[in-house]
Amino acid sequence: MSGSLDVFLARRWEDLVTLTLHHLAVVALSLAIATILGVLVGLLVWDKNVPRTAALTAAGIAITIPSLALLALLSPLLGLGWAPTVVSLVFYSLLPIVRNTVVGLREVPAHLIESARGMGMTPTKTLLAIQLPLAWPVIVTGIRVAAQLTVGIAAIAAYVAGPGLGLYIFKGLSSLGSVNALNFTLTGTVCVVLLALLIDGAFVLIARYSTSRGLRV
């Protein structure tokens, strides 16, 4: 028989807030690193056939590796806690960011680039002033997808003592049959879902207010 959920939450709400903040922190850190790396890789390969194919293929293969297996491989090298969690989250976040950066840049009409260069703009200035602003809605969509991936995988990182709400989920699963097993698992799972929805909503606003008015659908 499970204990009362409202009593469970009343006794553990401070712990739950702390775990939620830790979960959000590790997601934010990992996503920031992945965004920098992913956009940089996309900028380097978007107009080069072989490097572009190699980068997308490598990222695609990487994301097929089971998260538990990757965490198990990283923990002997990096120990437990934040380090293997951040590395694994960055690892899984790269594909949507690299892919969308490449797609966004390749979708910029060629005549706009030619016009910019015809006006004397350097390739770097063309990239920053024309290509990146036009590609941004697609890029931010990739970052948004990566954010959802990291929220879910961060919960699994509790397997290697990673920070966040996964601790409650694993605690509940490892104590099946105990009074609060269901409460731990249900609370951790619901909080992860709510956090994912909150982050997704934040990215909707980011995309809206960081995109030029003329490009908004």
Angle between helices 132-156 and 166-174 (to 10 degrees): 30
Residue 107 or 32, more confident? 32
**Alpha-carbon span 65 to 68, nearest angstrom:** 9
Q: What is the pLDDT of residues 18-77, one digit of tens each?
A: 999 999 999 999 999 999 999 999 999 988 889 988 988 888 888 888 888 999 999 999
Most confident of 1-5, 82-86, 111-115, 212-216: 82-86
CA–CA gap between residue 215 and residue 217 (Å, rounded): 6
Angle (CA) 217 197 87, round 5°? 100
Question: What does the pLDDT read at residue 1?
Answer: 43
- The neighbour count for residue 58, using CB atoms within 10 Å, is 14
- The pLDDT score that the predictor gives to residue 217 is 52
pLDDT value of residue 155: 93
Of 111, 113, 112, 102, give the one whose Cα is nearest residue 135.
102
How confident is the model at residue 151, as a pLDDT?
Answer: 95
Long-range contacts formed by 10-15: CB under 8 A, 24+ apart:
12/187
Residue 38: which of 56, 24, 63 has the closest Cα? Answer: 56
Could you give the CA distance from residue 109 to residue 120 in angstroms, rounded to a whole number? 18
What are the tokens at 185?
């698992």
- For 128-167, b where at least 16 C-beta lie within 10 A, e where not — what string? eebbbebbbbbbbbbbbbbbbbbbbbbbbbbbbbbbbbbb
Residue 215: the pLDDT is 58
The answer to whether 126 and 157 are in contact (CB under 8 A) is: no
Instruction: Express each pLDDT in 150-204 by its tens digit.
Output: 999 999 998 898 999 999 999 998 888 788 888 999 999 999 999 999 999 999 9
Give me 118's structure tokens.
Answer: 């015809």
Say how many residues make up the chain: 217
Rounded-to-integer distance, Cα 68 and Cα 83, Å: 15
pLDDT band, very low/low/confident/very high, at 216 (cuts 50, 70, 90): low
Cα→Cα distances 125→128, 207, 211, Å: 5, 23, 19
Task: Output the CA angle 94-100-102, nearest 5 degrees.
Answer: 100
Per-residue pLDDT band at 211 (split at 50, 70, 90): confident
